[in-house]
């Protein structure tokens, strides 16, 4: 390890521990595997050989094509052919690659204006604003919505971008137990007990922040439960739909669509354009006066580059396919396929005896590995069977709650799901991962 030379802590002292621990557990080669080409139904990995314990890899010059259940390509829009790719290719010729300017200067082109109009319409809000990065959408928007004297009640498993945005806002932050309506109510009661009940006092505002679909757990927000509390306690509600927009609901319009709830009941609908749309960036959709305020106060968009034109074109093309404006029927088919694949794989894994987390309709399907030693073993066994999966361990999860996550896509078919199940059947036996006796009627 690196030792401080001057009596002070070395700059990367804390990193050193993390890095050594990962090397000791031989976890390093499960992450950041270099790939080439499209992260679609298949993904091609560049084969590399590790120089043990030296954190260097040598490329062997060969490649392995694997079935890809590791990318957030929910609706299969990551492909490089078809109507999206044609529109994007034409757009690059017409607009070039970069807008070379923030929105407030000369970065507001017709595509940005159109994306905002269509995104607002799609999610059912009067207005929307696009950002060049999903992470920054959260990190930059909280400080524009709340400030000192406000309270943010945040689900304990909210994404880092929400937590960072919340911290930057200067508001007081309290977390409540994951998706636990009783605990949220207890925290609300506690928060307003010093003032008059059912008002925001003594807080300027109370903002509750949740996600539509949680990416480590596969849980779906209990939106009806949260909205019942909103009626009672009159807080503002922020829902991050990074993983639910496009992926949930009969029309792919996210959790409101899924639960049949009027989007007007949620104050802020945030989403990313990286996952279901195969593009980049994020959006906030809300009442016009909120969007106007965000536009004039959000430092990330006032001073940061606006989204690339080709990315905006990809968003427009994929959105229009989902709504049926382009290639009628294709959007519907994609939505049906992801719904089928999600349920089919989840049920199959349960039948095999895996402990599977999350909601039945979630396209993110986490299975429990528990022991950290099984992280790399699972990843490698799946890779031997030419399947790419994401594995997650400490510090992203508690130490003994290691897991693997399958990300299901409309690009997959039933045979692909059967291939994953057959591999999990074998690997589950090798690594003793079949914890339950399966469900009734199971194989």
CB atoms within 10 A of CB 398: 9
Closest alpha carbon to 315 in 187, 123, 63: 123
Residue, CB closest to ligand PMP: 134
Q: Which is closer to ligand PMP, CB of 116 or CB of 240? A: 240
Distance of closest approach, residue 282 Cβ to ligand PMP, in angstroms: 6
Distance of closest approach, residue 177 Cβ to ligand PMP, in angstroms: 18
Q: Which is closer to ligand PMP, CB of 123 or CB of 133? A: 133
Q: Which is closer to ligand PMP, CB of 135 or CB of 235? A: 135
Q: Which residues contact ligand PMP (rule: CB under 6 A)? A: 133-135, 138, 159, 161, 211, 215, 240, 242-243, 272, 274, 282
Is residue 175 within 8 Å of residue 156, measured between CB atoms?
A: yes
Q: Which is closer to ligand PMP, CB of 211 or CB of 217? A: 211
Distance of closest approach, residue 155 Cβ to ligand PMP, in angstroms: 10
Distance of closest approach, residue 79 Cβ to ligand PMP, in angstroms: 19
Q: Which is closer to ligand PMP, CB of 35 or CB of 330? A: 35
Q: Which is closer to ligand PMP, CB of 99 or CB of 244? A: 244
Q: Which is closer to ligand PMP, CB of 268 or CB of 427? A: 268
Q: Which is closer to ligand PMP, CB of 334 or CB of 405? A: 405
Distance of closest approach, residue 223 Cβ to ligand PMP, in angstroms: 15
Distance of closest approach, residue 30 Cβ to ligand PMP, in angstroms: 18
Closest alpha carbon to 428 in 388, 341, 370, 386: 370
Q: Which is closer to ligand PMP, CB of 210 or CB of 352? A: 210
């Amino acid at each position: 390890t690196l030792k401080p030379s001057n009596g002070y802590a070395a700059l990367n002292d804390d990193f050193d521990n993390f890095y050594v621990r990962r090397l000791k557990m031989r976890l390093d080669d499960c992450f950041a595997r270099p790939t080439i080409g499209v992260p679609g139904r298949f993904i091609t990995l560049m084969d590399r050989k590790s120089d043990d314990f030296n954190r260097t890899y040598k490329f062997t010059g060969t490649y392995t094509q694997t079935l890809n259940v590791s990318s957030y390509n929910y609706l299969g829009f990551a492909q490089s052919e078809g109507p999206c790719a044609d529109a994007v290719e034409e757009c690059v010729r017409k607009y070039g690659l970069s807008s070379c300017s923030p929105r407030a200067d000369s970065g507001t082109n017709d595509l940005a204006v159109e994306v905002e109009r269509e995104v607002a319409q799609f999610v059912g809000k009067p207005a929307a604003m696009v950002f060049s990065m999903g992470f920054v959408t959260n990190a930059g928007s909280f400080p524009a919505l709340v400030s000192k004297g406000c309270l943010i009640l945040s689900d304990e498993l909210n994404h880092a971008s929400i937590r960072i945005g919340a911290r930057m806002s200067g508001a007081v932050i309290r977390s409540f137990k994951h998706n636990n309506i009783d605990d949220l109510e207890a925290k609300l009661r506690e928060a307003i007990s010093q003032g008059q009940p059912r008002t925001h006092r003594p807080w300027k505002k109370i903002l509750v922040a949740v996600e539509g679909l949680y990416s480590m757990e596969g849980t779906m927000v209990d939106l009806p439960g949260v909205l019942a509390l909103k009626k009672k306690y009159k807080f503002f509600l922020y829902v991050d739909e990074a993983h639910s927009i496009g992926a949930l609901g009969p029309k792919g319009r996210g959790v409101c669509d899924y639960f049949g709830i009027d989007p007007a009941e949620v104050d802020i609908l945030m989403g990313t354009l990286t996952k279901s749309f195969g593009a980049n960036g994020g959006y906030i959709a809300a009442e016009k006066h909120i969007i106007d305020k965000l536009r004039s106060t959000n430092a990330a968009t006032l001073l940061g580059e606006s989204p690339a034109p080709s990315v905006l074109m990809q968003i427009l093309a994929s959105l229009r396919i989902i709504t049926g404006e382009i290639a009628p029927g294709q959007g519907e088919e994609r939505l049906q396929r992801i719904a089928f694949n999600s349920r089919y794989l989840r049920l199959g894994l349960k039948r095999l005896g895996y402990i599977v987390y999350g909601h039945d309709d979630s396209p993110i399907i986490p299975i429990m590995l528990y022991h950290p030693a099984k992280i790399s073993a699972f990843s490698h066994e799946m890779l031997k069977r030419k399947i790419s999966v994401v594995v997650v361990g400490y510090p992203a999860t508690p130490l003994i709650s290691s897991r693997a996550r399958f990300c299901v896509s409309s690009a997959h078919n039933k045979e692909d799901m059967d291939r994953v199940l057959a591999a999990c059947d074998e690997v589950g036996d090798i690594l003793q991962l079949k914890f339950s006796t399966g469900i009734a009627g199971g194989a």
